[in-house]
Structure 1
Amino acid sequence: MKTRTIGDLFPSRRELLRLGGAGLLSASVDAIWPLDSRAGARVAPRGNARNVLFFEISGAVSHVESFDFKENPGTPRDLDVHKVGPDLSMSRLLFPRLEKQMHRFAVVRSLRSHEEVHFRGQYYVQTGRQLNVAFAREIPAIGSVIAMELEPRRRPEDTFPTYMSFNLDKAFPGALSTGFLPPRFSVVDINPEAAVKGMKLDDKAVELLQERWRLLSRLKEAERPRLAAYGTQMASYDSFYDTARRLLEDQRWPAAFLIRDEDRKRYGNTAVGTSAILARNVLTSDGGTRYIHICHPGWDHHVQIWDRKASSNHYVLCAEFDAAFSSLVEDLATTPSKADPNRTVLDETLVVAMSEFGRTPGALNNMAGRDHYNRCFPALFAGAGSKGGLVLGRTDSEGAKCLETGWSRRDQPRIENVVATMLSALGIDWTKEIHNTPSGRTYTYVDPLGANGIIPTDEIATIYG
């Protein structure tokens, strides 16, 4: 790999946006610190995971041809569907590798969403709550809340960002900001194609970086009285840039962006495949990243969903997903943890895969596609002690109506409950409240106020058996 210099890395603000950091640059100017936080309901977070990996199937996979298979008038004839468990059927054509990994997954088939359009639905996925435009500017992404909560647990050797994402700039809302939280809890969103072009600094470049940092430190010291007028904003950005300097000096960082040809082929040689490889590398480096969000865009097939002649269709997207996601889970399941060699990285990582909602069951629409459907859709959970082979929740013969919720409540689980499950796994009290937000409105990590009244905010405990 060609050795790169500081100028090669970040020659401009545009380059910084191309590689990542969009969440930082859109961070709210209304950040508050310290927080007035208080415990909410009496809950017992599990703390069974060191990491969470959220894989967003962005745009909505058709649930009735994937993880809640229901034969219907729109089902293609070539899917080669067969049983992979007592209550689970899958297409060998669409998911030839993933079907061999399903013994690792608990499948929840009874989710319901408040939303039915992509921007709002994907905002909901990133924040765990409905979009309220009056307060949207101060709402942090879930990953930023996690980064804030886990900051006291960071070790001296943790130089990697706590919250990272891959390809999230391709989501409808982009990579959301920290809201009322300081910029240091921002996502570092990586553009996979740009990132693998090389991020290595040679010794001379490291020396130059250190010399420039010393010069900058002396200039800031001389200008301290004037800079003090900028208050916490300047301190927050200083903290971010100090973190970036330490990161660039850490040899694990460029190593995480090295991709072998055999891995590229096995993961599918696609943008989402590259994202999955980089996510694997970051987690197995154990450099301090604890929450990763991968975005796999393009699934919104209102038109020609099963037309092989179309430039984009479910055949193509399923093949990308199958190679990338299956390889990722395989590798996490076989890589020893650096924290505990008797465990694998999957043992200490809760993996969640889902869309923002489902697609209409039954016959195809008049454009040979499927539209948005929020009344039933599935999610996959693996790792961190979750029980593989479970199929939770049940829908009717068309996949249109929930018949069994698959957990302890009569209400269907929602994205709020997925968020509670992830926070609980990381040992975070998901009922915690922040009372000194800029608007004065109390922010609860998992909001109990749903679209039509109060909703349960429990974790989905049944994934653990």
Structure 2
Amino acid sequence: MSFRSIPRGNADHNGQPLGRFLPDRRQLLKSASAGFGYLAMSALLASKARSEEVAPALPPGHLAPRKPHFPAKAKRVIFLFMQGAISQMDTWEYKPELQARDGQSGPGGGKLMASRYKFAQYGETGTWVSELHPHLAKHVDKFCWLRGLHTDTPAHPQAVIQLHTGTAIASLTRPSIGSWLLYGLGTENQDLPGYITINPPPNFGGTVNYGSAFLPAHYQGTRINDAGYLPNLEAQTPIALQRRQLDLIQSMNKDLASRPHAPSAIEGVISSYELAFRMQSKVPELLDISKEPEHIQQAYGIKDGPAGSFARQCLMARRLSEAGVRFVEICHPGWDQHNNLHRGLMNNCQAVDQPAAALLADLESRGLLEDTLVLFGSEFGRLPSAQGPDGRDHNITGYPMWLAGAGVKPGFTFGATDEVGQFAVEGKMHTNDLHATLLALMGLDHESLTYEYGGREFRLTDVAGQVAREIFA
């Protein structure tokens, strides 16, 4: 943005008196920049607005709810992302042949390593689960297993980006899956973002994993942490004054947006500022999990400090989904266990097992699991062979994820790996197939959900993707 230079002194270039309160360019830039900084902070730290002073309603538009391509089986998604690659051989994939061939040569030439953990069968389905997941084991009859997944690259940065955006090519940034859902379906709550990511990993793609890329900026994910919003009530500026400050900035934004060849991102900025203003009345209270009943907090295992991070995320995800957020992603990092595998798995599984199980039970008790799809998994899996004395290397050729809730068959298994768990041999699903299936469960045809950019039409699944309709309830 450029400003016309305003002469100093008491008269302009034509000798006419200047207005008493007319600012010069330096004052105007200083005021505007301070306003931008203030808005960024107020969006995060503002308290609930007084009910008698409300912001103007957002007119229907790009974020308004839209009809899906066909009747949807799910209305919203909660993605529990285990970043780093879970060792499925020690958690979800019981392979008697692997246990029997411990120390022998495996398919890739390495020595097979049996799991040190005990497995048992649970539920009416008799699903095998290791002792690391005693709480989630009670919910196996809800799970719809995808056991034949595979992807393209064994490198974490590219695989994480591909899982979130459909492509492993970091140089060609694509919209994230949450952004595509928001673009296709809009949002159910105009006072909240339609796409929220809690504690996303700062590396392995960073903001790319929840960005909107070439889609308009208002479709990108909103990043928060598991501490929620902590308003400073004493520092709170009256809502009416905030509105006046915002109106001043928005008038400049709208003027710039109306000019020829103005960047399209300006519309996203305008929308994001208005959304941030409206969020003040709902977000602080919504993310204040201390108001949950004691029995709910105990069920999730809520506690202070880093050890309670994932539990807080799970409870926040339920509250956000219940309030109408279309796509919520939560993250637990640290599963990249090339060494210290068994101790690391014990720590990680202890952190996620109870909260994830409580999330499923809580959603079900509130009737939300009927239209909420829960996805649990990593960017790829681990090999059945050993890496060093206590580790497993990456496996992109066969690994599982599970789904639960809206639209999928409970207690169902689709796909399988070989007898030791290295290669997908049945029901093979590439990452593109996973995305096509998730979109279909939300009522979207992955081939029709397109956006024209740079002279071609893009989609989440690029030129691939097969929907696994076998898993549909």
1:459 equivalent in alignment to 2:467 = yes
> Cα deviation per residue 1:162-201 (whole Å; 9 max; x = unaligned)?
11111114451113221111111111011213x2544879
1:90 equivalent in alignment to 2:105 = no
Q: Which residue of 1 aligns with 2:402?
A: 380
Correspondence for 1:49 among 74, 80, 97: 74
Please identify the structure whose Cα radius of gyration is greater: 2
Correspondence for 1:240 among 272, 291, 295: 272
Where does 1:143-182 land on structure 2 (aligned, <5 Å)?
143-151=178-186, 154=187, 158-170=190-202, 172-176=204-208, 177-182=211-216
Shift of 1:445: 3.0
Correspondence for 1:319 among 344, 350, 354: 350
Task: Between 124-133 and 264-273, report the one with greater CA deviation.
Answer: 264-273
Q: Which residue of 1 aligns with 2:334?
A: 298
Shift of 1:388: 1.2
Correspondence for 1:257 among 266, 287, 291: 287
Shift of 1:52: 1.3
Q: What SS is found at the alignment partner of 1:168?
A: coil
Q: Which amino acid aligns with 1:245?
A: F
Over 3 Å counting, the alpha-carbon distance change for 1:162 and 1:125 in structure 2 is same
Correspondence for 1:80 among 118, 129, 132: 118
Q: Which amino acid aligns with 1:416?
A: N
Q: What SS is found at the alignment partner of 2:392?
A: coil
> Cα deviation per residue 1:6-36 (whole Å; 9 max; x = unaligned)?
x9x97586998999xxxxxxxxxxxxxx9xx
Shift of 1:395: 2.2
Task: Assess if the C-alpha contact under 8 Å between 1:107 and 1:392 holds in 2.
Answer: yes
> Cα deviation per residue 1:266-296 (whole Å; 9 max; x = unaligned)?
334322221111111101123xx11112221
Q: Which residue of 2 aligns with 1:183?
A: 217
Correspondence for 1:128 among 154, 166, 188: 166
Q: How many residues align?
A: 394
Shift of 1:247: 1.7
Q: Which residue of 1 aligns with 2:49?
A: none
Correspondence for 1:447 among 453, 456, 462: 462
Compute the RMSD of aligned alpha carbons.
Answer: 3.2
Over 3 Å counting, the alpha-carbon distance change for 1:16 and 1:76 in structure 2 is farther
Q: Which amino acid aligns with 1:131?
A: I
1:393 equivalent in alignment to 2:415 = yes
> Cα deviation per residue 1:37-67 (whole Å; 9 max; x = unaligned)?
xxxxxx9755111101121111000111112
| Distance in 2 separating the partners of 1:10 and 1:66 | 46
Q: Give me the TM-score of the superposition, normalised by structure 2.
A: 0.75
Correspondence for 2:300 among 250, 259, 267: 267
Identity of aligned residues (%): 25
Q: Which amino acid aligns with 1:420?
A: A
1:206 equivalent in alignment to 2:206 = no
Q: Which residue of 2 aligns with 1:3?
A: none
Q: Which amino acid aligns with 2:416?
A: R
Q: Which residue of 2 aligns with 1:420?
A: 436
Q: Which residue of 1 aligns with 2:381?
A: 358
| Distance in 2 separating the partners of 1:385 and 1:165 | 23
Shift of 1:245: 1.0
Over 3 Å counting, the alpha-carbon distance change for 1:63 and 1:226 in structure 2 is closer
Q: What SS is found at the alignment partner of 1:148?
A: helix
Task: Assess if the C-alpha contact under 8 Å between 1:46 and 1:424 holds in 2.
Answer: no
Q: Give me the TM-score of the superposition, normalised by structure 1.
A: 0.76
Task: Assess if the C-alpha contact under 8 Å between 1:354 and 1:378 holds in 2.
Answer: yes
Q: Which residue of 2 aligns with 1:141?
A: 176
Choose between structure 1 and 2 for higher RCO, CA contacts under 8 A separated by at least 6 residues. 1
> Cα deviation per residue 1:72-98 (whole Å; 9 max; x = unaligned)?
333454x33211255621123x11110
Task: Assess if the C-alpha contact under 8 Å between 1:272 and 1:295 holds in 2.
Answer: yes
Shift of 1:434: 3.9
Task: Assess if the C-alpha contact under 8 Å between 1:393 and 1:404 holds in 2.
Answer: yes
Task: Assess if the C-alpha contact under 8 Å between 1:58 and 1:171 holds in 2.
Answer: no
